[in-house]
Amino acid sequence: MSLPNSCEGHERVVVDEDLLSEIEKKFRGRTYREEWVRRKLSTEWAWISPAFSELIGSAVADVVVFPRCLEEVIWLLSFADSHGIPVVPKGGGTGNNVGGVLPIRGGILMDMRLMNGVGRIDDSTVRVEGGCRFGTLMQHVRARGLDLRVYPTSYPLATVGGFVVGGSRGIGSYEYGLIWDNVSSLRLVTPKGEVLELQSDEVETVTHSMGTVGVVVEVGLMLRPLWDHVLAEGYFRELSSVAEFIDLLIRDRVQFWHLTVRNSGYGRLMEDLTRSSRAREGWYVMAAYPTNRHLAATFKSYVERCSGSIDRVKVTDRVSIDRILSGVFGLPQTPYIIRHIKERDPHRHLLYLVFYHHHNRVWDVVEEVSAHEEWAPLIEVNLFWIRGAPYAHFGLFVEGDAETLAALRKRFAGVGYKFDLHSHLVNDRLGALFPEKLQAMMDFKRRVDPNGIMNPGKLGV
């Protein structure tokens, strides 16, 4: 049997050795009890945030298990539920959740990366197992002359299931909205071993649930035709000109696929990929769109109308588009940047803050943050649509420590809609902007997980 034990303010479950041995026998060769493996896979990207520094030492799974088929997932969840063992599903661990996969009550870390098959592909959808990486999936669908509508900036390593239950906005969200709006179907295994086939609006109870309601074993994603794309880039000296430019594009519904704004500090990190100089202080607007939309003249006229200049407008291959638009957390060198910071001072972090705001109200906040030269902020604003309304995703990267994070959180309290990456609670990411979705998710969890074994402590019910 499993017994509760107090652990860093959380009720940690002590798993009986006989139960762990039974799991090892069932998944021979695909379980890990070694501490360094359990600690590494339990922590993932949580170490970049000082908010989790006290949890990291204790939030370690008792065993890591790699299932490879639906039947094994059903067995493991049923076994865990009958013995009261917590289960935390895990995908690529690329940072969409930050603290979302921390097993704060111990138990089983279920790594889904062996369930990575790509199934049926038709003209508009693809069925794929939850542990498949987006990079692999993109190769399959592009070979068929198709493409994903939206995918994460961490696409080379992020898994489909992980992004669906932990992510939100991605590359392509200006045209197609959040990843949730592009899920056509979803297969979920509940703690009772029941397999649910969710369709259309039903998937809302699972998307961004961070594994608190069950395990996603298969996802249906919407597709679009594979086109060549144009990457258009404009430069603006003043942020007010950027705000005017974005407002005009949204007002006139110019049909870009992806639209993002970056400050010059952020741009300097992208020099090697964009092959352009970032010496000028100011702001860069990057728009991507299919070549058949012929928007080059439109982009140029809007830029010049708002006192900007054109850096480039050119057809760019898909691989380059992916790499350029992926941003800081899509770059391979990001972990090295963070480690370099921590080698100089182990208490310092590359702090990543996010909030959503109405597209025409975000710029005042951006301007104020930019004025804090001591923070040397890297700023990215991505524009996207939620059910017909335009919003801004404000991403801020600042080098600092726990005090810096506290100051930033205080500054952003009550600004826009909180999407707190430095909290392990789903409620702190969905509550402000998606209250109905959050409520439906909590009701769903009460029904399918009455014993509360799925990623416990992450969804307040």
CB 207 within 8 A of CB 109: no
Instruction: Give the pair of three-digit tokens for residue 48.
Output: 């970049």
For residues 179 and 90, state if they share a domain: no
Instruction: Give the pair of three-digit tokens for residue 106.
Output: 């111990």
For residues 80 and 140, state if they share a domain: no
Count the domains in the chain.
Answer: 3
For residues 292 and 193, state if they share a domain: no
* Residue 441 maps to a domain: no
What confidence score (pLDDT) does residue 3 get? Answer: 43
Query: How many other CB atoms are there within 10 angstroms of residue 324's CB atom?
Result: 20
Pairing of strands 63-65, 108-111: parallel
What confidence score (pLDDT) does residue 398 get? Answer: 81
What confidence score (pLDDT) does residue 6 get? Answer: 34
Consecutive 10-residue averages of pLDDT for the chain (461 residues): 43 88 95 92 75 80 97 98 96 75 93 96 96 96 96 90 91 94 96 94 92 97 96 95 96 96 77 56 94 95 96 89 77 57 68 83 87 78 90 85 82 78 86 90 96 93 77
| CATH number of the domain residue 139 falls in | 3.30.465.10
Give the domain extent around 341: 229-427
* Residue 458 maps to a domain: no
What confidence score (pLDDT) does residue 206 get? Answer: 95
Is the overall model pTM greater than 0.75, yes or no? yes
For residues 261 and 204, state if they share a domain: no
- Burial of residue 388 (CB within 10 Å: 0-12, 13-18, 19+) is exposed
For residues 96 and 141, state if they share a domain: no
For residues 234 and 371, state if they share a domain: yes
Final residue of a structural domain among 82, 111, 140: 111
What confidence score (pLDDT) does residue 5 get? Answer: 40
- Residue matched to tokens 């969840």: 77
Interatomic CA distance for residues 140 and 118, integer angstroms? 8
Interatomic CA distance for residues 210 and 100, integer angstroms? 6
- CA of residue 161 relative to chain centroid, distance: 11
For residues 146 and 246, state if they share a domain: no
Report CA-CA distances (Å) from 436 to 171, 173, 396: 25, 21, 27
For residues 157 and 94, state if they share a domain: no
For residues 320 and 334, state if they share a domain: yes
What confidence score (pLDDT) does residue 17 get? Answer: 94
What confidence score (pLDDT) does residue 100 get? Answer: 81
CB 191 within 8 A of CB 80: yes
What confidence score (pLDDT) does residue 224 get? Answer: 97
For residues 185 and 239, state if they share a domain: no
* Residue 435 maps to a domain: no
* Residue 436 maps to a domain: no
For residues 163 and 211, state if they share a domain: yes
For residues 62 and 11, state if they share a domain: yes
The three-point CA angle 407-413-417 to 5° equals 130
Instruction: Give the pair of three-digit tokens for residue 259.
Output: 């639209």
Q: Which of 2, 213, 6, 216 is nearest to 104 (CA)?
A: 6
Interatomic CA distance for residues 209 and 440, integer angstroms? 11
Interatomic CA distance for residues 287 and 95, integer angstroms? 25
